[in-house]
Each structure stands twice: as C-alpha cells, then as structure tokens.
A = this chain, B = another copy of it.
C-alpha cells in the first residue's frame, strides 16, 4: 500500500461540477488501493470575494484578521469535496490546519511551515479514510490561524508528502505538465516528461507559473517525488526529481518575466561598501532585487544596475535619492519597459556553446541585449519589453526545432 498526496487548485474545485470531477480522480486513486491525502485551495473566486468584503470595511485590516477570514475558503472546499466523496461511498474526512496540527510561524499572510503533527491524519488513514486537508493555512504557537502566502497550497501538499514519506505528490493544474516555454507564445512548445528540481526552481523563479518555487525547494530538500499533472485530462504529466536522463544535452525550457523594471545608479564614487549600503537600504523596505550588475564607468566612478518588481521601482528610486549624499552617486536612470528571458538546464554553463546559441538566436532575430546574467543552470538576458515574445519564440526554435 502506498501513500499519494494530491493537490487541486482553486479553479479545479470552483463549482459543483469540478468538485465532482476532482472527487472522481481521488476515488480512482483510493480504489486502486492507495492511502490518499488531498490538499485543496479555496474555490475559484472565493478568496477574491472575501478580500472584497474586507476591503469594503477596512482596506488596512490587520493580517491576523485577514488570515482568519481567508482561511475559511479552504475549509469550505474540503468540506464540499468530502460531501461528494461521501455521496460516492468513499470513506473520508475533511480537516482544517488546526485539526491536523499544521504548525507555522506567526508571520500572518506569509507564514512558514514549522512542523506537522502526524497523529490525527495517521489515525484517519488507518481507518481507510481519504483525508482532505485545507491548503494554504497553518496555526501558530498562540493558536492563531496563519496563511502561507503565494503558492501556499502547493507548499502544504509537498510538506505533507515529506512528513508522511508519500510515494508521490501530484500537483493537479489546468495544464498537463511543465512545458519548454509558455504555449500561448510558442504554439509548438513541448511538454517535458521529466525535469530536475533545480531546473524547475529556476523556471519557477524566472516566471513559469506552474509551481511556486517554495514548494519545489521543499520537494528538493526532502526528496519528494513531485508530479505536475492535468486535472482535466487523464494522461502523464511532468515528473520533477533529482536526476533525469543522464545523457540529456538540451535545455529544459525558456521562461519570460515582464514584471521587472531596471534601476541604474550612475556615477558612483569608488567608496568601499557602497553596494552593501544600497541593497541594505532596499531590503529594509522589503524591496526584492533580482539581477544585479556592476560595471566600471568612467575613470573614478562606477555604475550599479539592478532590477526590481515594476511596482517597487518608484519607491526604490525615492529611497536611494533620500540617501544621495551618503551614497555619492551622480544620478539615477530607470526603465520599466524591459523584460527578461531565461533558458534553464542542468549542466548548461558547463556545456560550451549553449549560451552562445541563445545569443545567436537573439542576433538572428535582430534583438538587442541590455544585460546578461547567469547562474550554474540558467542564462538570463534583459531586453526591451516589446522584444520579449519574439525572443522566446526565436530561442525556443533554436533549441527545440533544430535538434
């Protein structure tokens, strides 16, 4: 007997029809002789409706009360899905995070998982019940409800799979797996049968929206067998695991991100520690910085260029200007009409010529590169925002059509 964790997102349980469909998948898994733990998100628009209710009353409500409010969404989902399983004669029980003992930090709206008690779930599994757990939520030391932030339900599912040493953790989505790039941009994008944790991580953080990188990090750490699979069609998805085919030579995929803006500090004095000062100021205002590039400027000065989320650009500029005297720079220039395109693949940087092929594709498409940034398994380029989709298509064609 093996244990399988299955996670279904908000659109998969958005109405009675979809809940029936999801229950069918669960029933099939259960009747094949598996123990099943199910993790559900809130139904379709439930979370948005609850947020609208809160904002009508108090747009600056405390995160503690927002968590109290929003956590009802997942509780509704698990109760309704349990009712459908009951109708099908499948023994089951729904549990909220506090009933499981799903312990988290107290950082409301962005809590981290600390520990998951196994007693209640194990006792229900021992009674051959499907256990439906409300995703996205936890309970802190004070006994208050928390939520896990973006990608929370994926993370709930992977954490449960890790603690219960599940044979498989299936993340059901509206697509049927992880693609070499966004099929909406490149119609002949290919579904990957396998991908490594590291590749998935880079793809997720470079803009691929299939899995949140927190859940992938956790899966990698605890060696959870992860599968991204379609909730609509019954066919194989993409398996995420430690090592894939040994002889793999191609990249895993092409990702794009147009949510970024570029900020450049021009004409910085060569005083030591200036980089530390700049990024310390930004981090204290909770502004995340992505690509950082430092270039040697004219004789006695240098430039520091970095990217932030578009929404943070103005605040970043204000903060830096406030400290202009201490930081000693000449001026700031910004550009929020940029985008980033990345290729991801294990062994990419040790495989001569991969980066060059990417640049060749861009050259052939007549696209100008603003900045280049690399990691062990990724090459990213910054481009004009209007060039991004064309760049994805030309790079994808170079790596996947010519093979």
Q: A: which residues have CB within 8 A of B?
A: 16, 19-20, 50, 53-54, 56-58, 60-62, 64-66, 68-69, 71-72, 75-76, 78-80, 82-84, 86-87, 93-94, 96, 98-99, 120, 143-145
Protomer copies: 2
Given the contacts A62-B86, A75-B68, A86-B58, A80 and B98 also touching, CB distance less than 8 Å: no
Per the bound structure, the CA–CA distance linking A294 and B42 in Å amounts to: 57
Given the contacts A19-B57, A57-B20, A83-B57, A50 and B65 also touching, CB distance less than 8 Å: no
Per the bound structure, the CA–CA distance linking A19 and B84 in Å amounts to: 34
Chain B, residue nearest A72 (CB): B72
Minimum CB–CB distance for A239 against chain B, Å = 32
Query: Contact between B86 and A79 (Cβ–Cβ < 8 Å)?
Result: no
Q: Which residues of B have CB within 8 Å of A58? A: 83-84, 86-87
Given the contacts A99-B144, A143-B99, A68 and B57 also touching, CB distance less than 8 Å: no
Minimum CB–CB distance for A23 against chain B, Å = 9
Query: Contact between B94 and A120 (Cβ–Cβ < 8 Å)?
Result: no
Q: Which residues of B have CB within 8 Å of A69? A: 75-76, 79-80, 83
Minimum CB–CB distance for A343 against chain B, Å = 45
Per the bound structure, the CA–CA distance linking A143 and B96 in Å amounts to: 10
Query: Contact between A83 and B99 (Cβ–Cβ < 8 Å)?
Result: no
Minimum CB–CB distance for A248 against chain B, Å = 45
Query: Contact between B53 and A65 (Cβ–Cβ < 8 Å)?
Result: no
Chain B, residue nearest A143 (CB): B99
Query: Contact between B57 and A80 (Cβ–Cβ < 8 Å)?
Result: yes
Smallest CB-CB A-B distances: 8 pairs: A72-B72, A69-B79, A61-B83, A58-B87, A58-B83, A68-B79, A16-B56, A65-B82
Cβ contacts A to B, 25 pairs, < 8 Å: A16-B53, A19-B57, A57-B80, A58-B83, A58-B84, A60-B87, A61-B83, A61-B86, A62-B82, A62-B83, A65-B86, A66-B79, A68-B75, A68-B78, A68-B79, A68-B94, A69-B75, A69-B80, A71-B75, A72-B75, A96-B145, A98-B99, A99-B143, A99-B144, A120-B143
